[in-house]
A and B are shown apart, each in its own frame.
Chain A
Amino acid sequence: MGRTLTQIGTVTAMNLRSLPQRKWTSLATVVAIALVTGVLLAFLAMANGFQATVAGTGASDVMIAMRKGSESEINSTLMREQVLLLQEAPGLAKASDGKPLMSPELYVIVDGIKKSSGLKANLPLRGLGPLANEVRRGITIVSGRMFQPGTNELVVGRAVSKQFRGFELGAKMRLASQNWVVVGEFDAGGTVFESEIWADVAVLQGLYQRGSTVQTVRARMTDPANLEKIRAFSEADPRLKLDVKSEKDFYAGQSRNIGDLILYLGWPLAIAMSFGALAGALNTMFASVDARTREIATLRAIGFRGTPAFIGTMVESLILAAIGGLVGAVGTYLLFDGLSAATLGGNFTQVVFSLKLSWSLVLQGLILALVIGVAGGVFPAWRAARVPLLAAFKEQ
């Protein structure tokens, strides 16, 4: 047993030391595997970043009420009467004057021009109720100030001013023949809210001739468990019968579809590309075994067994694959990690997110690279293990 181990060590070292002789072909394999890993990781980072942004939005102690079947804020409509009824719901947190911490909101879409493409894209313009600041937490104004209720003032999320033209502090714009001005920029901890524009709900109701209707109601609950009570309250009143969810669940649901779509594209692509890289790895490893045929046969002649030749070749293949996988991961990290991208989210508006690598994703990429390494090494290694003794005397 000990001798076999020594033999394995010797042959593996010989394999690796002879690598520089095959540097171009080995390099081709490494780069091919790096590219495959890179493509996979770019997709995974995209799905991960999108999901982190959307699923990270919303609090579990904030409830959101929408018209039944509306699925997203943009489709919902709530009458003033329903908003008033909801104020009586049990389990809501109250302000010092006894009013529930509730924000009736409008959610409409305005055009923004993407800096990257110069084309128009849908941006959400949200009208906030007067108590919105106490319903939503974790919002900080990073420059300028909050809008004054009752005026045509806007505050924009950081992602909006970064990705879209014309939303800098002080920028003026026209919406439905009225002049608006951007007075502040807010940070919402990297959530979907940073892709939104906010204004006073009452002003927007007038502007969009919505009368007294709103689209959604958000309210802070004293305890996340109160959601069931509020839902029961809404079901019991035929004038309500709303969809009541926690804000956290609402955004978790929205993250699923597009996140899945990106994943379902990324894996099949990476697997298809792996077959190409695998073909390259096999060629390289077969060439490596061929080039060492005499050497391997000579070793056999002086008493080495087939196993060390097999393992030596496998190790060489796995090392090339691991280097490829690492290069791919580092390359993806340098090129794509933190890269800002935007796509259409569940509300038919742009969600700005950052590509985000994580250790578990890098691990998935490395596993793919090593699978290519194993598959690309096993057949050549098998051939190496069965090199006949006579090959030692064959001319090369």
Chain B
Amino acid sequence: MTLIDLVRKNLFRKRLRTILTLVAIFVAFVIFGVLATFQNAINAGVEVAGADRLITVNRINFTLPMPLAYATRVAAVPGVARVAHAEWFGGYFQEPRNFLVAFAVDPKNYLDIYPEYIVPPAQREAFLRDKTSILVGKSVAEQFGWKAGDRLPLKSNIYTQKNGSDTWDFTIAGIVAGNEARVDTSFVMFHYQYLADTRSFGDGTTGWMILKTTDAKENARVMREVDALFANSAFETETKTEQAFNKAFAEQLGDLGFIVTMIVGAAFATILLIVGNTMMLTVRERTNEIAVMKTIGFTTQRIFGLVLGESMLLALIGGLLGIAFAWLISFAMAGPLSRFGPIAFSWDTAATAFVLMAVLGLLTGLIPAIRAMNTDIVTALGRK
């Protein structure tokens, strides 16, 4: 019988206890897997942000407008390859609770600057041609069951039309997909010009600009020069990398990283106690048997390995099952929760989980293993 056989047999000797311990480990890893996936979804904007993309917003706050004319002036700054502008529409479908992330954009430049948005060429052409058409992100289209060619009336909680109407009519030109799972597609975008021509106020202004630089190395200089252009005007600007902008945006919700760390910490502290305690109990019950094993020639190293192996195996089985289940959950949540961000289980999460399993197995097995290793044959056998 090899050491591994022995470890396996030992592990399931008290079946109920082992299963219960496995459940505890399983739960902790499910919590870790699901929370890490959520956190990734919220931070996805930070990770997929283009290194050569900058965002220029109104210096006072990004919700305030800036003159449309800025786009032309910024395009002339050396190092700026492309400029697009966009504006928040505050859109909803039929009722305010069907809230949509709707942007009024400068269509051609916007699509060119975001190569991660994939639109079939024919749909792209149709969108660029028709001023009243709209592109719908894949996750929104799936949520509402919309497809290309559908009519889509949208209302805004900010704007009204000059003619008094509160509804803008669009035709869906196509569906925008992401080039990878992490790309968020929970938005719709339409022609800025359509909004500008019809809205009752906001003449000549837009929301923010997206700048593509010729090289990420130029970023710092471009940011400085762009903001210098508008210094001391009524609309001062602030330019940041897209990554910095998205990070600050995600942080507005609260210190999510801290909350997730606290919960995962509590969950792991719990299983550390439970598993460690079970291992101690197990070794104590087997004192006699360990003494016998030592008597018949098991080395202290093998005894040590036997106990540590058991706790490692326990952590590994529970952990792998937990991570597999978390993967299933994130799969199931991806659809219904897509509006919060792209929910996709990442390999990084799996790798971290693996490290956690090893640490858990080590920490819970170490003291019992040392104790087993140090079992004194005479005392143990004489204790009866």
Residues of A at the B interface (CB closer than 8 Å) are: 24-25, 28, 31-32, 35-36, 38-39, 42, 67-72, 74-75, 77, 108-111, 114, 116-117, 119-122, 175-177, 208-209, 213, 269, 272-273, 275-277, 279-280, 282-284, 286-287, 341-344, 348, 350, 395
The one of A24, A35, A272, A341 in contact with B27, judged by C-beta atoms closer than 8 angstroms, is: A272
B235 touches A176 (CB 8 A): yes
Interface of A is mostly: mixed
A32 touches B273 (CB 8 A): yes
Closest to B235 in A: A176
A110 touches B252 (CB 8 A): no
Q: How far is the CA of A290 from the CA of B157 in the complex (A)?
A: 66
B60 touches A279 (CB 8 A): no
Q: How far is the CA of A70 from the CA of B166 in the complex (A)?
A: 11
A75 touches B158 (CB 8 A): yes
Q: Would you call B20 an interface residue if the criterion is a C-beta within 8 Å of the partner chain's C-beta atoms?
A: yes
Q: Would you call B280 an interface residue if the criterion is a C-beta within 8 Å of the partner chain's C-beta atoms?
A: yes
Contact flags (1/0) for B214-225 with A, using CB distance below 8 Å? 000000000000
Q: How far is the CA of A279 from the CA of B252 in the complex (A)?
A: 38
Q: How far is the CA of A175 from the CA of B155 in the complex (A)?
A: 32
A109: B residues at CB distance < 8 A:
60-61, 63-64
Q: Which of A74, A77, A280 has the most CB of B within 10 A?
A: A280
A176 touches B236 (CB 8 A): yes
The one of A70, A114, A177, A269 in contact with B31, judged by C-beta atoms closer than 8 angstroms, is: A269
A68: B residues at CB distance < 8 A:
166
A343: B residues at CB distance < 8 A:
252-254
Q: Would you call B23 an interface residue if the criterion is a C-beta within 8 Å of the partner chain's C-beta atoms?
A: yes
Q: Would you call B362 an interface residue if the criterion is a C-beta within 8 Å of the partner chain's C-beta atoms?
A: no
Distance between A64 CB and nearest chain B CB, rounded to angstroms: 16
Q: A32-B274, A177-B236, A286-B17 are in contact. Are A276 and B27 (CB under 8 A)?
A: yes
28 pairs, A vs B, C-beta closer than 8 Å: A28-B274, A32-B273, A39-B263, A69-B96, A69-B155, A69-B166, A72-B157, A77-B158, A108-B60, A109-B60, A109-B61, A109-B63, A109-B64, A117-B251, A117-B255, A120-B248, A121-B251, A122-B63, A175-B60, A176-B234, A177-B234, A276-B23, A276-B270, A279-B20, A279-B23, A280-B274, A283-B20, A344-B253
B270 touches A287 (CB 8 A): no
A39: B residues at CB distance < 8 A:
263, 266-267
- 9 new A-B contacts, CB < 8 A, other than A283-B21, A283-B281, are A25-B281, A35-B267, A36-B266, A75-B158, A116-B255, A213-B201, A277-B274, A280-B277, A283-B17
Q: How far is the CA of A273 from the CA of B34 in the complex (A)?
A: 13
Q: How far is the CA of A110 from the CA of B64 in the complex (A)?
A: 9
A38: B residues at CB distance < 8 A:
266
B20 touches A110 (CB 8 A): no
B251 touches A279 (CB 8 A): no
B270 touches A344 (CB 8 A): no
Distance between A46 CB and nearest chain B CB, rounded to angstroms: 9
B276: A residues at CB distance < 8 A:
28
Q: How far is the CA of A111 from the CA of B132 in the complex (A)?
A: 34
Q: Which of B31, B157, B233 has the most CB of A within 10 A?
A: B157
A122: B residues at CB distance < 8 A:
61, 63, 252
Q: A70-B158, A119-B247 are in contact. Are A111 and B61 (CB under 8 A)?
A: yes
Q: A121-B248, A283-B17, A284-B277 are in contact. Are A208 and B269 (CB under 8 A)?
A: no
B271 touches A276 (CB 8 A): yes
Q: Would you call B375 an interface residue if the criterion is a C-beta within 8 Å of the partner chain's C-beta atoms?
A: no
